[in-house]
Amino acid sequence: MGCRIVLLGMPGAGKGTQADLLAQALGVPHVASGDLFREHLEKGTELGRLARSYIDRGDLVPDEVTIGMVAERLSRPDCASGFILDGFPRTVPQAEALDRLLRERGVALDAVAYIRVREEVALARLAGRWTCRQCGAVFHTLFNPPRQAGVCDICGGELYQRSDETEEAHRRRLKVYQEQTSPLIDYYRRAGLLVEIDGEQSIEDVQADLRAAVEVACGR
């Protein structure tokens, strides 16, 4: 049986960290819209060039571009039996597009896990985030340090700070989240899919709560 999960929460809530662990446990892919954009940036594609100015400002990339990119990823065979979506949807039109796309395939989301943290916690997490250039894994200088500074524990890749990790971009991203993404909490609550997770616990404890919720939702 498939397991189709969306992780919702403000930038810095821990979605990427939790999605990696959950995807591994369930054996389904972790699909992160931010990672897809960063692959386009690295490769210098047309989509990457279009997205860069939005990303560096901390604004959302326009819906039609984002929806097309994610829809293509979800149509690949590895997503047939499920996925963990992280960072998408971020607007109501994106959520509606996702609903349509899944309905056309005769499937549906099993749950939307809302990882709840206060804004000051998110800002502290974003301020110390380091990302692996090779595999996209994230670390934190204080809360989740790599074994060797500057080196990814998982793949040995180089850790870097994203070009959109400035205090100004962080504040902008949190504002954009409040305005454009937080309405999805109600959207999915009304759909009966929302599960709230206390994101201010340790990485392990958040994962345990998430795993329990997903087991109920996906029936395993």
Looking at residue 219, its amino acid is: G
Compose the 108-147 pattern: x for residues touching ligand ADP by CB under 6 A, - for all others. Answer: -----------------x--xx--------xxx--xx---
Q: Are 126 and 54 in contact (CB under 8 A)?
A: no
Q: Which of 4, 38, 90, 125 is an active site residue?
A: 90
173 catalytic residue (yes or no): yes
Interaction of residue 157 with Zn ion, rule CB under 5 A = yes
For the record, the structure tokens of 157 come out as 């890749």
Helix (H, G, I), strand (E, B) or coil at 196: strand
Q: Which stretch binds ligand ADP (CB under 6 A): 10-18, 95-103, 106-114, 151-159?
A: 10-18
Q: Is 113 in the site for Zn ion (CB under 5 A)?
A: no
Tell me which residues in 42-101 interact with ligand ADP (CB under 6 A).
Answer: 54-55, 58-61, 66, 87-88, 90, 94
Kindly tell me the sign of the dihedral angle through the C-alpha atoms of 133, 139, 177, 111: positive
Of 40, 39, 15, 20, residue with least CA distance to 30: 20
Composition of the chain by helix, strand, coil, percent to 5: 50, 15, 35
Contacting positions for ligand ADP (CB under 6 A): 9, 11-17, 33-34, 37, 54-55, 58-61, 66, 87-88, 90, 94, 125, 128-129, 138-140, 143-144, 173, 202-203, 206
Catalytic residues: 15, 90, 129, 162, 173
